[in-house]
Structure 1
Protein backbone atom coordinates (compact mmCIF):
# COMPACT_ATOMS: atom_id res chain seq x y z
CA UNK A 1 0.00 0.00 0.00
CA UNK A 2 1.46 3.33 -1.09
CA UNK A 3 -0.57 6.26 0.16
CA UNK A 4 2.38 8.71 0.05
CA UNK A 5 1.28 10.18 3.35
CA UNK A 6 3.94 11.00 5.95
CA UNK A 7 3.93 8.46 8.73
CA UNK A 8 4.27 9.60 12.30
CA UNK A 9 7.33 7.95 13.70
CA UNK A 10 8.97 7.79 17.07
CA UNK A 11 12.62 8.54 17.77
CA UNK A 12 13.29 4.88 18.45
CA UNK A 13 12.11 3.96 14.93
CA UNK A 14 14.52 6.40 13.27
CA UNK A 15 17.41 4.74 11.45
CA UNK A 16 20.50 4.38 13.63
CA UNK A 17 22.42 6.99 11.62
CA UNK A 18 19.86 9.72 12.41
CA UNK A 19 19.81 8.81 16.10
CA UNK A 20 23.63 8.82 16.13
CA UNK A 21 23.76 12.27 14.51
CA UNK A 22 21.10 13.80 16.79
CA UNK A 23 22.70 12.38 19.95
CA UNK A 24 26.19 13.53 18.92
CA UNK A 25 24.96 16.97 17.82
CA UNK A 26 23.14 17.48 21.13
CA UNK A 27 26.35 16.50 22.99
CA UNK A 28 28.48 18.81 20.78
CA UNK A 29 30.43 15.70 19.69
CA UNK A 30 31.50 16.79 16.20
CA UNK A 31 33.73 13.73 15.66
CA UNK A 32 30.78 11.36 16.11
CA UNK A 33 28.26 13.59 14.33
CA UNK A 34 30.36 13.81 11.16
CA UNK A 35 30.39 10.00 10.82
CA UNK A 36 26.68 10.14 9.99
CA UNK A 37 27.27 11.92 6.66
CA UNK A 38 28.27 10.73 3.19
CA UNK A 39 31.56 12.27 1.95
CA UNK A 40 29.64 14.54 -0.46
CA UNK A 41 26.75 15.35 1.89
CA UNK A 42 25.00 18.72 1.91
CA UNK A 43 23.65 20.59 4.94
CA UNK A 44 21.42 23.65 4.57
CA UNK A 45 20.98 25.66 7.77
CA UNK A 46 19.98 29.27 8.38
CA UNK A 47 20.10 30.03 4.65
CA UNK A 48 23.66 28.70 4.24
CA UNK A 49 24.74 25.60 2.33
CA UNK A 50 27.62 23.42 3.49
CA UNK A 51 28.90 20.80 1.04
CA UNK A 52 31.25 17.97 1.93
CA UNK A 53 32.37 16.69 5.31
CA UNK A 54 35.01 19.39 5.91
CA UNK A 55 32.47 22.21 5.47
CA UNK A 56 29.95 20.28 7.60
CA UNK A 57 32.59 19.73 10.31
CA UNK A 58 33.27 23.50 10.44
CA UNK A 59 29.52 24.21 10.62
CA UNK A 60 29.10 21.67 13.46
CA UNK A 61 32.02 23.14 15.41
CA UNK A 62 30.66 26.69 15.02
CA UNK A 63 27.05 25.79 15.84
CA UNK A 64 28.21 23.95 18.98
CA UNK A 65 29.88 27.06 20.41
CA UNK A 66 27.88 29.99 19.02
CA UNK A 67 24.93 29.78 21.41
CA UNK A 68 23.87 27.86 24.51
CA UNK A 69 20.53 26.10 24.18
CA UNK A 70 18.46 23.09 25.12
CA UNK A 71 16.95 20.76 22.53
CA UNK A 72 13.81 18.67 22.91
CA UNK A 73 12.47 16.36 20.20
CA UNK A 74 8.78 17.16 19.75
CA UNK A 75 7.97 15.32 16.53
CA UNK A 76 9.22 12.53 14.32
CA UNK A 77 8.02 11.27 10.97
CA UNK A 78 9.11 9.29 7.95
CA UNK A 79 8.00 10.89 4.67
CA UNK A 80 9.21 8.13 2.33
CA UNK A 81 11.76 5.30 2.16
CA UNK A 82 14.78 7.62 2.53
CA UNK A 83 13.39 10.80 4.11
CA UNK A 84 12.77 11.53 7.77
CA UNK A 85 11.86 14.67 9.70
CA UNK A 86 12.78 15.31 13.33
CA UNK A 87 11.15 18.42 14.80
CA UNK A 88 13.01 19.96 17.73
CA UNK A 89 12.09 22.71 20.17
CA UNK A 90 15.12 24.85 21.07
CA UNK A 91 15.40 27.33 23.93
CA UNK A 92 18.52 29.38 24.60
CA UNK A 93 20.48 32.58 24.28
CA UNK A 94 20.11 32.91 20.49
CA UNK A 95 18.03 35.75 18.96
CA UNK A 96 14.38 35.15 19.80
CA UNK A 97 15.23 32.66 22.54
CA UNK A 98 12.90 29.90 21.35
CA UNK A 99 12.21 28.17 18.03
CA UNK A 100 10.92 24.92 16.59
CA UNK A 101 13.19 23.55 13.85
CA UNK A 102 12.55 20.76 11.36
CA UNK A 103 15.60 18.61 10.66
CA UNK A 104 14.84 17.04 7.27
CA UNK A 105 17.10 14.07 6.56
CA UNK A 106 17.64 12.32 3.23
CA UNK A 107 19.55 9.05 3.50
CA UNK A 108 21.67 7.16 0.97
CA UNK A 109 23.49 3.89 1.63
CA UNK A 110 22.79 4.13 5.35
CA UNK A 111 24.24 7.65 5.75
CA UNK A 112 22.89 11.20 5.66
CA UNK A 113 23.22 12.59 2.14
CA UNK A 114 21.28 15.79 2.79
CA UNK A 115 20.10 17.64 5.91
CA UNK A 116 17.90 20.72 5.70
CA UNK A 117 17.21 22.58 8.95
CA UNK A 118 14.44 25.18 8.89
CA UNK A 119 11.53 26.48 10.97
Structure 2
Protein backbone atom coordinates (compact mmCIF):
# COMPACT_ATOMS: atom_id res chain seq x y z
CA UNK A 1 0.00 0.00 0.00
CA UNK A 2 1.25 3.50 -0.83
CA UNK A 3 1.74 5.83 2.11
CA UNK A 4 -0.47 8.92 2.13
CA UNK A 5 1.18 12.30 1.70
CA UNK A 6 -0.54 14.23 4.49
CA UNK A 7 0.03 17.96 5.12
CA UNK A 8 2.65 18.42 7.86
CA UNK A 9 0.35 19.37 10.79
CA UNK A 10 -2.02 16.50 9.96
CA UNK A 11 0.85 14.01 9.71
CA UNK A 12 2.15 15.30 13.07
CA UNK A 13 -1.34 14.87 14.58
CA UNK A 14 -1.53 11.21 13.56
CA UNK A 15 2.07 10.58 14.68
CA UNK A 16 1.37 11.97 18.16
CA UNK A 17 -2.26 10.79 18.35
CA UNK A 18 -2.42 8.28 21.16
CA UNK A 19 0.98 8.25 22.75
CA UNK A 20 1.75 11.87 23.43
CA UNK A 21 -0.99 14.43 24.23
CA UNK A 22 1.71 17.08 24.79
CA UNK A 23 3.11 16.66 21.27
CA UNK A 24 -0.38 16.44 19.81
CA UNK A 25 -1.48 19.78 21.25
CA UNK A 26 1.47 21.50 19.51
CA UNK A 27 -0.25 20.70 16.19
CA UNK A 28 -3.10 23.16 16.99
CA UNK A 29 -3.58 26.93 16.98
CA UNK A 30 -4.17 28.56 20.38
CA UNK A 31 -7.94 28.92 19.79
CA UNK A 32 -8.46 25.64 17.92
CA UNK A 33 -11.59 23.54 18.31
CA UNK A 34 -12.05 19.79 18.28
CA UNK A 35 -15.49 18.20 17.89
CA UNK A 36 -15.65 14.55 18.88
CA UNK A 37 -18.38 12.30 20.28
CA UNK A 38 -20.88 15.16 20.48
CA UNK A 39 -18.61 17.48 22.48
CA UNK A 40 -16.59 20.53 21.46
CA UNK A 41 -13.20 21.22 23.03
CA UNK A 42 -11.85 24.76 22.53
CA UNK A 43 -8.31 25.91 23.26
CA UNK A 44 -5.09 24.03 23.89
CA UNK A 45 -5.82 23.06 27.51
CA UNK A 46 -9.21 21.57 26.60
CA UNK A 47 -7.76 19.73 23.60
CA UNK A 48 -4.93 18.31 25.68
CA UNK A 49 -7.38 17.15 28.39
CA UNK A 50 -9.65 15.56 25.75
CA UNK A 51 -6.79 13.60 24.20
CA UNK A 52 -5.29 12.59 27.56
CA UNK A 53 -8.67 11.24 28.72
CA UNK A 54 -9.18 9.27 25.50
CA UNK A 55 -5.65 7.86 25.67
CA UNK A 56 -6.06 6.61 29.24
CA UNK A 57 -9.50 5.12 28.58
CA UNK A 58 -8.67 3.22 25.39
CA UNK A 59 -5.69 1.69 23.64
CA UNK A 60 -6.02 2.09 19.88
CA UNK A 61 -4.20 2.52 16.60
CA UNK A 62 -5.09 4.77 13.69
CA UNK A 63 -4.27 4.03 10.06
CA UNK A 64 -5.12 6.86 7.66
CA UNK A 65 -6.00 5.45 4.24
CA UNK A 66 -7.52 8.31 2.21
CA UNK A 67 -7.20 12.08 1.88
CA UNK A 68 -9.76 14.34 0.19
CA UNK A 69 -10.28 18.11 0.10
CA UNK A 70 -13.59 19.93 0.43
CA UNK A 71 -14.15 23.68 0.71
CA UNK A 72 -10.74 24.39 2.27
CA UNK A 73 -10.83 21.35 4.55
CA UNK A 74 -8.64 18.25 4.46
CA UNK A 75 -10.68 15.11 5.12
CA UNK A 76 -8.72 12.06 6.24
CA UNK A 77 -10.38 8.65 6.41
CA UNK A 78 -8.73 6.40 8.95
CA UNK A 79 -9.24 2.91 10.30
CA UNK A 80 -9.23 2.96 14.10
CA UNK A 81 -8.86 -0.30 16.01
CA UNK A 82 -8.54 -0.90 19.73
CA UNK A 83 -10.25 -1.92 22.94
CA UNK A 84 -13.37 0.20 22.51
CA UNK A 85 -16.93 -0.89 21.65
CA UNK A 86 -17.46 -1.32 17.91
CA UNK A 87 -13.77 -1.70 17.05
CA UNK A 88 -12.56 -1.50 14.36
CA UNK A 89 -14.25 1.54 12.82
CA UNK A 90 -13.51 3.88 9.94
CA UNK A 91 -13.56 7.52 11.07
CA UNK A 92 -13.44 10.78 9.11
CA UNK A 93 -11.19 13.55 10.41
CA UNK A 94 -12.13 16.95 8.95
CA UNK A 95 -9.21 19.37 9.41
CA UNK A 96 -9.06 23.10 8.73
CA UNK A 97 -5.50 24.41 8.67
CA UNK A 98 -4.37 27.93 9.47
CA UNK A 99 -0.78 29.23 9.36
CA UNK A 100 0.66 25.69 9.33
CA UNK A 101 -1.38 24.47 12.30
CA UNK A 102 -4.75 22.81 12.87
CA UNK A 103 -7.44 25.42 13.50
CA UNK A 104 -10.34 22.96 13.70
CA UNK A 105 -10.91 19.22 13.70
CA UNK A 106 -14.18 17.34 13.55
CA UNK A 107 -14.16 13.55 13.98
CA UNK A 108 -17.17 11.58 12.71
CA UNK A 109 -18.04 7.98 11.88
Q: Do the two structures share a fold, i.e. TM-score over 0.5?
A: yes
Deviating above 4 A after TM superposition, structure 1's stretches of 4 or more consecutive aligned residues are none
Is residue 108 of structure 2 the alignment partner of residue 118 of structure 1? yes
RMSD, matched Cα: 1.4
Structure 2 residue ranges without an equivalent (≥5): none
Is residue 1 of structure 2 the alignment partner of residue 11 of structure 1? no
Larger radius of gyration: 1
Which of 38, 60, 76 aligns to 2:67? It is: 76
1:21: how far off? 1.0
Residues paired across the two proteins, number: 107
Structure 1 residue ranges without an equivalent (≥5): 1-9
2:36 touches 2:106 (CA, 8 Å); kept in 1? yes
TM-score scaled by structure 1? 0.83
Q: Larger deviation: 91-100 or 104-113?
A: 91-100
Q: Which residue of 2 aligns with 1:57?
A: 48
- The Cα offsets for residues 41-94 of structure 1, whole Å up to 9 and x where unpaired, read as 0000011100000000000111111112222212112224x4101111112211
Q: Larger deviation: 37-46 or 84-93?
A: 84-93
- The Cα offsets for residues 2-42 of structure 1, whole Å up to 9 and x where unpaired, read as xxxxxxxx722x2211111111114x111111111000000
